[in-house]
Amino acid sequence: MPSLGQMSDYEIRLIRIFNTVVECGGFTAAETTLGISRSAISQHMNDLEGRLGFSLCQRGRGGFSLTEEGKEIYQAGLTLLASLEAFRSDVNALHRTLKGEFNIGITDNLVTLPAMHVTDALAKLAAPQHEVSINIRMEPSDAVIRAVIDGQLHVGVVPAVNLPASLDTHWLYDEPSYLYCATGHSLFERGDGTLAWDEIAACPSIAPRYPLPSDARQAHEALNLRASASDREGAAFLILTGRYIGYLPEHVASRWVERGTMRALHAASRHYRIPFVLITRRDRRPNRVVDAFLGMITAAVRQG
């Protein structure tokens, strides 16, 4: 006597066809719904009955009616198809819902950048439909790089300077920097038209002790370096004393420029740009939360 083994896709399709025939009330009525001919429906029913080992329905001049076995198979089919639909819904829900931890390291003084790609992507990860615990660390770029390589961080945001080959990079934005002085400095009240570059270059200035690309290093080397700073915030402190000039990212200096306590010197010619990138380990394991974040970043960058 035939017995049904493991269900194949074809057998599930036969069950769908059978249930549709039952719900339509016969083969002829099911033709339009199924989009196949009456003879094809009859062949499918013969296949299903052969696989199950018993007759499911009576069809002929007397009309369409279910056998007792057919009634039970119809109910079992409803249960099967409902379970498949529930499984599909659960899988789709997993795609819509992100769960887990997300560890990100960001170098200092980036929160004031006008392009908020990272902030916007983090906002999407923190949306109510997700269950993502976001952990953020603000550290110097070399510490962020080490933590990504060691696996302590999933991603990092750092300047694209001296990055190891073991990291993948995703461009985020270019950060423009200009040469600034502040109130109290001898150059502050004078217009650029009265300032010769030799006079500017002779003023005490600030040497950065953080990684910079070659064009940025060259811009600093042209100055009279008399102090140093470990980060951009330290450089801002020294510029605000009115005793030093120094380079700052435009978005960092903007708060003091708007207050009238800081101004750029020869902004048209004395500036450089630093590319910032998102870094991940090249050999990282698949992670749906990280993959989703990278996708959000990519979309945000494309949209500008």
Q: What angle do CA 41, 46, 50 make, to 5 degrees?
A: 150
For residue 235, give both structure tokens.
Answer: 């450089």
CATH pick for 9-91 out of 1.20.120.350, 1.10.10.10, 3.10.110.10, 2.40.10.500: 1.10.10.10
> Which ranges of the chain would DSSP assign to H, the alpha helix?
9-24, 27-34, 38-52, 68-96, 117-125, 141-150, 197-202, 214-221, 232-240, 250-259, 288-303
The confidence score (pLDDT) of residue 115 equals 79
For residue 216, give both structure tokens.
Answer: 């940025």
Other C-beta atoms lying within 10 Å of the C-beta of residue 303: 8
292 CA to centre of own chain: 4
2 contacts 52 by C-beta, under 8 angstroms:
yes
276 contacts 159 by C-beta, under 8 angstroms:
yes
Q: For the chain, 304 residues long, give each residue's pLDDT as a single digit of tens.
A: 455 667 788 888 999 999 998 889 888 888 888 889 989 988 998 998 888 888 988 877 767 888 999 899 999 988 988 888 777 766 766 667 888 999 999 987 788 787 788 999 999 999 998 989 999 999 989 999 999 999 999 999 999 999 999 999 999 999 999 999 999 999 999 988 899 999 999 999 999 998 899 999 999 999 999 999 999 999 999 999 999 999 999 999 999 999 999 999 999 899 999 999 999 999 998 898 999 999 999 998 888 7
The confidence score (pLDDT) of residue 88 equals 77
Q: What is the CATH number of domain 97-304?
A: 3.40.190.290
122 CA to centre of own chain: 8
- Which residues in 230-298 belong to E strands, given as ranges? 246-249, 262-264, 271-281
Pairing verdict, β 57-58 and 65-66: antiparallel
pTM for the model: 0.69
Tell me the C-alpha distance between 109 and 235, whole Å. Answer: 12
Pairing verdict, β 131-138 and 246-249: unpaired
Same fold, 9-91 and 97-304: no
How long a stretch of residues is the chain? 304
The number of helices, as runs of H, and strands, as runs of E, in the chain is: 11, 11
Domain ranges of the chain: 9-91, 97-304
Tell me the C-alpha distance between 148 and 145, whole Å. Answer: 5
Pairing verdict, β 204-208 and 262-264: unpaired
Token pair 């339509």 is found at 24
Q: Which of 213, 201, 295 is nearest to 246 (CA)?
A: 201
Tell me the C-alpha distance between 86 and 235, whole Å. Answer: 59
Q: What are phi and psi of 155, to 5 degrees?
A: -140, 160
Tell me the C-alpha distance between 133 and 99, whole Å. Answer: 8
Token pair 């990291």 is found at 167
For residue 129, give both structure tokens.
Answer: 């439909």
Tell me the C-alpha distance between 212 and 216, whole Å. Answer: 6
